[in-house]
Structure 1
Amino acid sequence: MKELIETIVKPLVDFPEDVQVNALEESDRVTYKLNVNKNDMGKVIGKQGRVAKAIRTVVYAAGSSGQKKIFLEIVE
């Protein structure tokens, strides 16, 4: 899942080397924390959050077969 998130986000940003995805696993869910360069934050979120919503939709769909819920947080 980390590779999927990186594959989606890296082409969108100006500083792909700063993209980091960390997973935090709990008993019933997995939270992925996405860190990008401060200057790329607007590109990842998009106008009115449309890009972030699209990324989350793809990630949630890819993780829907698992038993744990998937969450994606975009961290500054």
Structure 2
Amino acid sequence: MKELIETIVKPLVDFPEEVRVETIEDDTRITYHLTVNKTDIGKVIGKQGRVAKAIRTVVYAAGSSQQKKIFLEIGE
């Protein structure tokens, strides 16, 4: 899943080498924390959050076969 997020986000940003995905796993959920350069945060979120929503939709669909709930947090 980490590779999927990186594959989606890296073409969108100006500094793909600064894209980081951290995984935090609990008993009932998996949280992926996406970190990008400060100047790229707007590109990842998009107008009215449309790009972020699309990324989350793909990630949630890909992880639907798992027994745990999946969350994607976007930060700088």
- After TM superposition, is the score higher than 0.5? yes
Q: How many residues align?
A: 76
Give the unaligned 5+ runs of structure 1. Answer: none
Give the whole-Å Cα distance in 1 for the aligned partners of 2:75 and 2:7: 18
Letter in 2 for 1:45: I
Give the unaligned 5+ runs of structure 2. Answer: none
Identity in percent: 80
Deviations 1:38-73 (A, max 9, x none): 000000000000000000000000000000010000
Runs of 4+ in 1 over 2 A off after TM superposition: none
Report how far residue 75 of structure 1 moved: 1.3
Tell me the residue number matched to 1:61.
61
Secondary structure of the residue aligned to 2:41 is: helix
Deviations 1:2-26 (A, max 9, x none): 0000000000000000000000000
Normalization by structure 2: what TM-score?
A: 0.99
Normalization by structure 1: what TM-score?
A: 0.99
1:17-56 equivalences in 2 (<5 Å) = 17-56=17-56
